[in-house]
Structure 1
Amino acid sequence: MKKRLIACILATAMLIGCLAACGGNKESSAVSNEPSSQSGADEPSSKTSAPENDGTRDINGLTLPITPEKTEISVLMVFESNVVEDPNEIAGVQAMEEATNVHVNWMFYGQTEMMEKFNQMMATGEFFDVMFPGGTSSYSGGYQQGIEDGVLIDMDPYIKKYMPNYMALLESNPEAKKQAAYDDGLMHSVRVLRGTDENLKVPGAFLGPAIRADLLEKMGEDVPETVDQLHTLLVKCKEAGMAAPMTLQGDGGTSLSLAWGVNTDWSTNFWQYDEKTGKVYYAPFAENWDAYLDTMRDWYAEGLIDKNFTVGSPVMSGDYSNYENDQSMFIDTWFNFLMGNEIYKQGYISNENVNLVPLTGIVLHPGDPTIWCGNESYVSQEIYVTTEAEDKIDVVSKWIDYHYTTEGLRYKYYGIEGESYTLDSSGEVTYTDAVLNDPNGLSIGDALGKYAMRSYFGYQSETAENSAAIAAAEGGSVSLIEASQVWSSADVTIHVPPATLSQEESEFINTYITDIQTMLQERMTKYILGTDTSSHDEFREKLKASQIEECTARWQAAVDRYNAR
């Protein structure tokens, strides 16, 4: 059970990019050259031509089939399924092959296995035409280093020549185009683009702060909005007999730190950014760091924080007793797929009354803006095109471009129209009985897996990814989606912009940051527990001696280049 949950977290992390109260809700304007559906549905700005006499057709400049003769390419990708052994068994994948005339020889692994396998392949020179290892693996030194090493192809000229649908999406949103480029203004790699079925959009958050709504109602208390109100509530919880009114992460971090404008998210290495000044900070150098950590120490001493917080959150420790026995009220950071009473439904606890609801964010003073650590990026992972594909780069480029069309999106996410889904006149997708009521009793997700690959490759649609959960929800209410919307609605982000570190910058930071992060995590834990009594200034001097200022300067240089794009 624990392995399954951790795998789920890794997969979700691949979508969002970091484990923080992160995400977004900014949409672009409607895509001016929105790719078409094979259905012929009347969609905004769809541009698909009818088949020509020679059997070809056009999607915004991409001619299908891509090649007159069947062409094979090799693709490495993260893929896991309970119902098929090979992606080529999936009906939607077969339809994509028929449309493009490109047959894919897949090499695939689960997300956790891919981390090890990808590094082995890079070391041994085992390359595929296209390699997409997911968000937890990357080419050492970055894509441009891969070009210099003679391993990866500089895709900028081929994107502009062979990928009209990818370019149309970027042209529809200047910020997305900026994020897809590198510091020299060129698009050396193809990037995953994120949005809805209709528009580019920053994805929603997948975790954030939560509170036990059922216990709050039982106590007759209101939802706290400020730090002082939360403190008052936690005191009442302790007086009512709760042993762990508030939880922390195992290293002492908490999404509550955002009330002070402080980032304590380990997955971002504790970097943060001030949008007003354009400055990058390491969290202990933020203005209110001292006040935040002092407050957590005081609250721990008062018995308001779980005395066993150092064992880590339940998803890591497997200990859900605080939920089972109604011992916690404010849940530091929680995952959207376990909101509401999902931890009961999924069998982690037997307490059916648990109702976890999301909080946008606690603020320090009334009227303060809510703060998050959301990466407002329309682009995510790079798609690695290797020199193995040099002799067929036109075919590979066009095949990738097909994934940015509505037709490709629907084959990938929804399967086959008329078999796994139907479309109404407005383009709304409804799953058929074959998916909703599989004759073999498969879940909606597994039944859909026979028709759609549902990978994150190419265009990543939040609409499509949520569709199966919505279809399976009782009464159409999906706590997973509702939580993401709440967490994504905060006012200000302190996340570092999606800048690109140079090879030298990356190597320098990587030389020191692991030790620095370990030092900081130990500091937070011991200070909150009261075993480290040294001053904050003394600790900052230790960080300076460990090259934190030099690391920060390199991040600052990268962000300055990004802002100048």
Structure 2
Amino acid sequence: MRTFAKRAALLAAVSTLAVSTACSGAKTEEASTTDSETTVKQEQVAFTDIGSDIRGNEKPTQQQIDEVNGTLNDTYLGDIFDQPIPNDYSAYPVEGDVTLDVWMAAPAEIPDMNTQLVQKQVQKLTGIKVNFITPPVGQEADAFTLMISSGELPDIIIDPGRYPGGLEAGLNDGAFIDLTDLIEKNAPNYNAWRNSDEMRRKTTVTDSGRLLGFYGIAPYSEWMWFGPLIKKEALEKTGLEVPTTIDEWHTFLTKAKEVGYTEPLNYGSSYGQIFTGIINGAYGVWDWTFMDADGKVQWGPAQPKAKEYLKTMQDWNKEGLLNRDWATADFNQRMATAISDKTAIMMDSPDTMWSYWKQQNDIDFVGAPNPVLNEGDKPQVSYKNFMRAGTSAAITTQAENVEAAMAFLDFGYSKKGWEVFNYGEYGKVHLIDKDGKPYFPAESYIYKDPDGQPVATTLHKYRVHDWANIRDEHNSNPLIVAEGSYSGDIRKTWTEEMDASMTMPPITFTQEEASREAELGNQLATLRSEYYAKIIMGELPVDAYDKFLQEAQKMGLEEFVALHQAALDRYNQR
């Protein structure tokens, strides 16, 4: 990926924008506009307390609905987390006519974000118009590359981590602006929320102390979302308990095949294909980098028991215990197989499978811990949520109104923004309980969509699932909180009962490190995928792993690990 042709001009633009923003921020009492740019208000609004009218009200009047949905009044919302959510609305509504171009890869359920209902409401509340640029589903990576290569950037990019080398590389190349000196003034809600907890602060700042973007950050560390799920009917037909060791897994899968599940383990995954961290983790052969018992970085595919893991999977594949298309199946193919009589175990999200298995096909299931080699060992998982949730956003050097762009993003970290993004429209989608907490009633459009769409779709249609905001996953994901759902119980149990101490935190690389890390990482990932797939499919013998490891070392495996170690050391010093 080349840097911008006009890098010097773009970097000069950063300085100009920062200066003009700082100057325009000098106004404090009343909103004002200039001929050169739209400005935001700087006076806080006082609201009439309507808590007694809204809390616990199951049949609000149209006037009450309009007051909640059409104004910034948040007096009916309670403080339900350890730290109160900020509620500075002094910037809204933005004065003048301002439209922001926002690039983002939209969920498949809402391919055109300009039609997304919550985003429309946010634009009305903030006074900021938005033009979403959404690439076709499946073409996001190519579209992003073309956009960056063209040098023509929108005002805001959602998921700027796609930039080669990350946000710091984008800053140094002149694509993104440095927000460090602007956050406190122009994003008071984000600034207050990220500083209200040490983990949130540490994971939203660079090693050098710079603030480069708006990160999705939660009130808590979200439960892990991916793991082994077993059909209850498979347990009943086999007469076996939930397996916990690798040997018990083999016994269960063999018995499941005997009773009619022709491809009992759905092994492939669109989230990782060969590597899932579920079976390979039992051997300490983690997907990618992890921390060993001494807190040092290691590369999972190069661990001592890798050949033992590969031998196990090669045997299982020969015995017909895996789905035959595990290396190539996409999401839709996996779900079609999952609901058939072929599959006994899925490795996926219980949220997803509660929708596909239980809701749509009345198939009950249970969660299983990641397997271990020896009975009595504690299950392990290389996933931990560091209060980072949803996605992130960066403002580009071509943003015509940095102040308005920051105000737009800052709304997601206000109390009103928390309600709107997570719970959608008041009345049709959510109500407020007696404690001031939003919830989805039984008649919510989330569950009873007028168009008949399933919850897996309505959770994107009537609320926003991935955004740079305060994401309240445990309370606002309808697949978790729906009556009868046990998805959240499974995720909570996984999180509490498995050891995640080896998980790498969200480290960052310097510009010099980033390009080299990306180069080595791509090479190693390609090498790993090729060898591991062929060995498991029996196209190569297990001993071919020795050659794989030699090639990985020649490629620069030690350098790759050293780059991650240096980044981890800096992270620990933040």
Global fold match (TM > 0.5): yes
1:125 and 1:372, CA in 2 relative to 1: closer, same or farther beyond 3 A?
Answer: same
Match of 1:115 in 2: 141
2:163 to 139, 143, 159: 139
- Aligned-pair distance for 1:311? 4.2
| TM-score where L is the length of structure 1 | 0.75
Return the structure number with greater relative CO, CA threshold 8 A, min gap 6. Answer: 1
Match of 1:357 in 2: 366
Task: Determine whether 1:477 maps to 2:494.
Answer: no
1:415 and 1:237, CA in 2 relative to 1: closer, same or farther beyond 3 A?
Answer: closer
Match of 1:273 in 2: 291
Tell me if the contact between 1:87 and 1:453 (Cα under 8 Å) persists in the aligned partners.
no
Tell me if the contact between 1:404 and 1:459 (Cα under 8 Å) persists in the aligned partners.
yes
AA aligned to 1:387 is: T
1:393 and 1:527, CA in 2 relative to 1: closer, same or farther beyond 3 A?
Answer: closer
| TM-score where L is the length of structure 2 | 0.74
Distance in 1 (alpha carbons) for counterparts of 2:529 and 2:116? 46
- Aligned-pair distance for 1:512? 3.3
Task: Determine whether 1:458 maps to 2:469.
Answer: yes
- Aligned-pair distance for 1:186? 2.2
Q: Which moved more, 1:60-69 or 1:204-213?
A: 60-69
Distance in 2 (alpha carbons) for counterparts of 1:417 and 1:341? 24
2:193 to 169, 175, 180: 169
Total equivalences in the alignment:
492
1:316 and 1:559, CA in 2 relative to 1: closer, same or farther beyond 3 A?
Answer: farther
Q: More strand per residue: 1 or 2?
A: 1
1:256 to 279, 301, 322: 279
Map Cα deviations across residues 228-271 of structure 1 (whole Å, 9 max, x no partner): 322333344455565444453386545211122221x4xxxx33
Map Cα deviations across residues 261-304 of structure 1 (whole Å, 9 max, x no partner): 221x4xxxx33322x31222222332432332333344455x26
Match of 1:49 in 2: none
- State the identity as a percent: 24
1:156 to 180, 198, 204: 180
Distance in 2 (alpha carbons) for counterparts of 1:59 and 1:498? 25
Tell me if the contact between 1:416 and 1:451 (Cα under 8 Å) persists in the aligned partners.
yes
- Aligned-pair distance for 1:372? 0.9
1:100 and 1:306, CA in 2 relative to 1: closer, same or farther beyond 3 A?
Answer: closer
AA aligned to 2:507 is: A
Map Cα deviations across residues 442-488 of structure 1 (whole Å, 9 max, x no partner): 66677787765555232323146513x367x5xx1225444433443
Distance in 2 (alpha carbons) for counterparts of 1:533 and 1:88? 51
Task: Determine whether 1:41 maps to 2:76.
Answer: yes
Q: Which moved more, 1:209-218 or 1:431-440?
A: 431-440
Match of 1:384 in 2: 394
Distance in 2 (alpha carbons) for counterparts of 1:395 and 1:405? 16
- Aligned-pair distance for 1:340? 4.8
Match of 2:563 in 1: 554
Distance in 1 (alpha carbons) for counterparts of 2:459 and 2:266? 37
2:528 to 509, 514, 520: 520
Tell me if the contact between 1:247 and 1:306 (Cα under 8 Å) persists in the aligned partners.
yes
1:426 to 429, 435, 447: 435
Q: Can you give the 5+ residue segments of structure 2 that lack an aligned partner in the other structure?
A: 1-48, 50-71
1:215 counterpart SS class: helix
Q: Can you give the 5+ residue segments of structure 1 that lack an aligned partner in the other structure?
A: 1-35, 47-57, 347-351
1:107 and 1:307, CA in 2 relative to 1: closer, same or farther beyond 3 A?
Answer: closer
- Aligned-pair distance for 1:178? 0.6
Distance in 1 (alpha carbons) for counterparts of 2:542 and 2:121? 65
Match of 1:369 in 2: 378
Match of 1:183 in 2: 207
Distance in 1 (alpha carbons) for counterparts of 2:458 and 2:348? 28
2:252 to 233, 248, 261: 233
Tell me if the contact between 2:215 and 2:468 (Cα under 8 Å) persists in the aligned partners.
no
1:226 and 1:120, CA in 2 relative to 1: closer, same or farther beyond 3 A?
Answer: same
Distance in 2 (alpha carbons) for counterparts of 1:527 and 1:448? 40
2:569 counterpart SS class: helix
Q: After the TM superposition, which residues 216-231 of structure 1 pair with which residues of structure 2 at under 5 Å, given as runs? A: 216-231=235-250
AA aligned to 1:127 is: L
AA aligned to 1:231 is: H
Task: Determine whether 1:334 maps to 2:344.
Answer: no
Tell me if the contact between 1:371 and 1:491 (Cα under 8 Å) persists in the aligned partners.
yes
Distance in 2 (alpha carbons) for counterparts of 1:397 and 1:511? 33
AA aligned to 2:485 is: V
Distance in 1 (alpha carbons) for counterparts of 2:547 and 2:127? 65
